[in-house]
Amino acid sequence: MEAPAVAQSAEVLLQARSVTKHFGGVAALQGVDLEIRRGEILGVIGPNGAGKTTFVNCISGMDKPTSGTILFKGVDITHMPGYAIGRLGLARTFQVVKPLRQLNVIDNVAVGAMFGAGGSKRNTSQARARAEQVLEQVGLKHRSTHLAADLTLPDLKRLELAKALAMDPELLFLDEVMAGLNPTEVERAMQMLQTINSSGITLFVIEHVMKAIMGISDRIVVLHFGKKIAEGDPSKVIENPQVIEAYLGERFAKRARGERQKR
Amino acid sequence: MSPEVAPSLSPAKPLLEVSNLSSGYGEVQVLWDVSLEVRLGEVVALIGANGAGKTTLLWTVSKLIRPWSGSIHFDGKNLTHASSDQMVGAGMVQVPQDRRLFPGLSVKDNLLQGAYLRQEKREIQSTLDWVLEILPRLKERLYQDAGLLSGGEQQMCAIGRGLMSKPRLLAIDELSLGLAPLVVDNLLRLIIDINKQGVTVLLVEQDVEVALEQAHRGYVLETGRVVQASKASELLEDPRIRQAYLGL
């Protein structure tokens, strides 16, 4: 049975209005309207180059939209610097992992703990204590004292998640944290994300792994050439002919249906 | 133009034969006594969890790292102590996990890097024509910077570069990594097409279902050891494999 989606009436945590981003002559995002509701897991799919990461960059202050408005908890964050957005309770991971390579794992995460929503109140040892909790949560505690530079890619993806979680976000953007995991590892990662979500963190999940997207999303948004082409209930979105043609293909559409039925 | 190898499916003849292979990094042993063979004309899938040693096995066979013990035969010749360029010369080519294109070079120049051991200009050109025929998207992008390609196009370029050496065995590490489902589907068709044209394929793939659906046979690697080897269709039905690798 399908889990009940977050009610339509739930509080809008983030609202993107007509967000457009141009890189020279290339329109990476063209007037994207999108709402993220408190408590939900929003899945985001779309072909490589559709603008998914650019969207997250614009929201998190890594990049500024060419036009449009972004409201987080009702506050206009469109022109806010990234660190201030982090303090407000928004965190993200990076698809191409960005560890501080010369620091060990726990200090990488402690930096997140000092940077985010709860950060200004923490001293170094409090930040390390918070980091330790998070490392436990993501299953990376046994690597605490390793240099980030020495981690394998799946562990670097976990570190990426840990850094963001340590920021105590209300809204967390995850950019392909499951790439390179096998189906059983994906299964474990899905459980982890669901636990994170039930602890009260709203999730925006970009992923090509359909097993995961179909398994955990309350809603799905599809981007294609910088535009939103579909949005809604996962089982409906994967039947949308435009989504199948642009992104899924028949083979994977069939598999995605199976994943949804298993839920 | 297609490679010289006839698409023979003679089940007896091994193209790559790995026996009791051990290797690792520094003092850390990763592979323990691994034996495996890839027969002429086959698609063989190599599956296993992250850290099981799949990439290390490809790297050892390609001689990017040195075998500690055991042997590697290719087309009947003992190439255990051959260098990586000798492996390429013999027809063993790897498409690496993170694609490793040369950004700043055009797609065409990236493809030509794959033919760096070959001398005859005319033959290189005819291989290039063949590669662009099976990868028409690269033809459209031929003079663009390879660093500006989409993820799927980069993977096509990496496969195309591998084909430029006219390999007999193409080993592909993580075909689907980070790619949209439709792109993966197209790449799988491409792999089948390449295989039908006579190139033997060793496929490392996290999407175990996809890998086993395409492959003739599969090997399961766990903590650096081969724990199972059988027909891909049998592995797909095996309850233990389904539970451990398919999450079913």
Residues 134-173 of B with CB under 8 A from A: 150-152
If you average pLDDT over every residue of chain A, what do you get? 91
The answer to whether residue A249 neighbours chain B at the CB level (below 8 Å) is yes
Q: What phi and psi values does residue B32 have, to the nearest 5 degrees?
A: -125, 105
Q: What is the mean pLDDT of residues A118-135?
A: 90
Residue at B111: amino acid letter: L
- Which residue(s) pair with A104 in the sheet? A147
Residue A226 — pLDDT band, cuts 50, 70, 90?
very high
Structural domain including A82 reads 10-89+208-263
Option in A185, A211, A247 nearest B182 (CB):
A247
From residue A59, alpha-carbon distances to A19, A77, A204, A237, B214 in Å are 9, 8, 11, 24, 40
Q: What is the mean pLDDT of residues A155-163?
A: 93
Residues of B in Cβ contact (< 8 Å) with A207: none
Which of A208, A259, A261 would best serve as a mutation to test chain B binding (most B beta carbons within 10 A)? A208
Give the pLDDT score at B248.
64
* A217 is a domain residue: yes
* A232 is a domain residue: yes
Give me the number of domains chain A comprises. Answer: 1
- Percentage of residues in chain A with pLDDT exceeding 90? 73
Give the pLDDT score at A263.
64
Report the C-alpha gap between B61 and A174 in whole angstroms. Answer: 36
- Which residue(s) pair with B228 in the sheet? B220
| Min Cα–Cα distance to chain A from B185, Å | 7
Q: Do B49 and A49 make contact, defined as CB atoms within 8 angstroms?
A: no
The answer to whether residue A103 neighbours chain B at the CB level (below 8 Å) is no
Q: Do A182 and B245 make contact, defined as CB atoms within 8 angstroms?
A: yes
Give the pLDDT score at B12.
57
* A149 is a domain residue: no
Residue of chain B minimizing CA distance to A249: B182
Q: Do B50 and A152 make contact, defined as CB atoms within 8 angstroms?
A: yes
Option in A49, A183, A256 nearest B246 (CB):
A183
Q: For the whole model, what pTM was predicted?
A: 0.82
pLDDT higher than 60, residue B9: no
* B27 is a domain residue: no
Give the pLDDT score at B229.
94
Structural domain including B116 reads 41-245
Q: Do A48 and B152 make contact, defined as CB atoms within 8 angstroms?
A: yes
Burial of A242 (0-12, 13-18, 19+ CB in 10 A): exposed
Option in B50, B181, B245 nearest A210 (CB):
B181
Give the pLDDT score at B47.
92
pLDDT higher than 50, residue B8: no
Q: What is the mean pLDDT of residues A117-145?
A: 91
pLDDT digits over A56-68, tens only? 999 999 999 999 9
Report the C-alpha gap between A163 and A92 in whole angstroms. Answer: 9
* A169 is a domain residue: no
Residue A6 — pLDDT band, cuts 50, 70, 90?
low
3 state DSSP class of B188: helix
Which is more confidently placed, B170 or A255? B170
A67-72 β-sheet, strand order: A26-37, A12-23, A67-72, A75-76
CATH number for the domain spanning A74: value is 3.40.50.300
* B11 is a domain residue: no
* B10 is a domain residue: no
Give the pLDDT score at B97.
87
What is the DSSP pairing of strand B28-39 with strand B77-78?
unpaired
pLDDT digits over B65-78, tens only? 999 999 999 999 99
What is the DSSP pairing of strand A41-45 with strand A219-224?
parallel
pLDDT digits over B183-216, tens only? 899 899 999 999 999 999 999 988 888 899 999 9
Written as one string, the DSSP assignment of A53-96 is HHHHHHHHTSS--SEEEEEETTEE-TT--HHHHHHHTEEE--SS
* A143 is a domain residue: no
What is the DSSP pairing of strand A75-76 with strand A219-224?
unpaired
- Which residue(s) pair with B19 in the sheet? B71
CB pairs under 8 A between A and B: 80
Give the pLDDT score at A7.
53
The answer to whether residue B219 neighbours chain A at the CB level (below 8 Å) is no
pLDDT higher than 80, residue B138: yes
Which is more confidently placed, A151 or A201? A201
Give me the number of domains chain B comprises. Answer: 1
| Min Cα–Cα distance to chain A from B27, Å | 15
Give the pLDDT score at A1.
43
The answer to whether residue B47 neighbours chain A at the CB level (below 8 Å) is yes
* B34 is a domain residue: no
- Sign for the CA dihedral angle at A139, A145, A149, A150 comes to negative
* A199 is a domain residue: no
**C-beta separation of B47 from B221 below 8 A:** yes
Q: Pinpoint the alpha helices (H) of A71-182.
A: 82-88, 105-115, 124-138, 153-165
Q: Do A48 and B179 make contact, defined as CB atoms within 8 angstroms?
A: yes
The answer to whether residue B209 neighbours chain A at the CB level (below 8 Å) is yes
What is the DSSP pairing of strand A67-72 with strand A75-76?
antiparallel
pLDDT higher than 70, residue A4: no
* B31 is a domain residue: no
CATH number for the domain spanning B96: value is 3.40.50.300
Report the C-alpha gap between B21 and B33 in whole angstroms. Answer: 5
Give the pLDDT score at B7.
45
* A231 is a domain residue: yes
